[in-house]
């Protein structure tokens, strides 16, 4: 019986994250290795509650559009719902994939892990 994801993009991302030296990337990889049914799902209301204006947040899972986002934050996640993307962009926030954040900020300076 095969263990792990069959999504080739996810497997490549996990491999790339495990090669990084910073512990936050290894933690994100560990969270993404979990089965989809127990992977993190975060609503915008939670991001609004715990993130500061201008902060970078990483969600090793999916971001859903439930709730209101009032802060201009940069959010990186494996997946976004359409409503989450539009709400984030409507308040001036940025939507990134985890790969894009890794290329942009390999040292993970000022990144908050949420989930």
The predicted structure's pLDDT at residue 36: 86
Alpha helices in the chain (DSSP H): 8-18, 23-32, 44-50, 82-90, 98-104
37-87: pLDDT as tens digits: 888 999 999 999 999 999 999 999 999 999 999 999 999 999 999 999 999
**Burial degree of 19 (CB within 10 A; 0-12, 13-18, 19+):** exposed
- Name the residue among 65, 71, 75, 72 with its Cα closest to residue 95: 75
pLDDT at 2 over 70: no
Cβ–Cβ under 8 Å, residues 61 and 31: yes
Of the two residues 3 and 85, the one the predictor is more confident about is: 85
The predicted structure's pLDDT at residue 7: 83
User: Topology of 37-113 in CATH?
Assistant: Ribosomal Protein L15; Chain: K; domain 2 (3.100.10)
φ, ψ for residue 12, nearest 5 deg: -65, -40
């Amino acid at each position: 019986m095969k263990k792990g994801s069959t999504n080739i993009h996810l497997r490549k991302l996990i491999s790339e994250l495990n090669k990084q030296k910073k512990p936050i990337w290894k933690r994100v990889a560990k969270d993404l290795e979990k089965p989809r049914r127990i992977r993190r799902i975060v609503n915008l209301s939670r991001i609004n509650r715990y993130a500061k204006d201008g902060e970078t947040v990483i969600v090793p899972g999916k971001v859903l559009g439930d709730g209101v986002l009032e802060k201009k934050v940069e959010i990186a996640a494996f997946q976004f719902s359409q409503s989450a993307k539009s709400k984030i962009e409507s308040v001036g926030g940025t939507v990134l994939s985890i790969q894009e954040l890794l290329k942009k900020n390999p040292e993970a300076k000022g990144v908050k892990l949420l989930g």
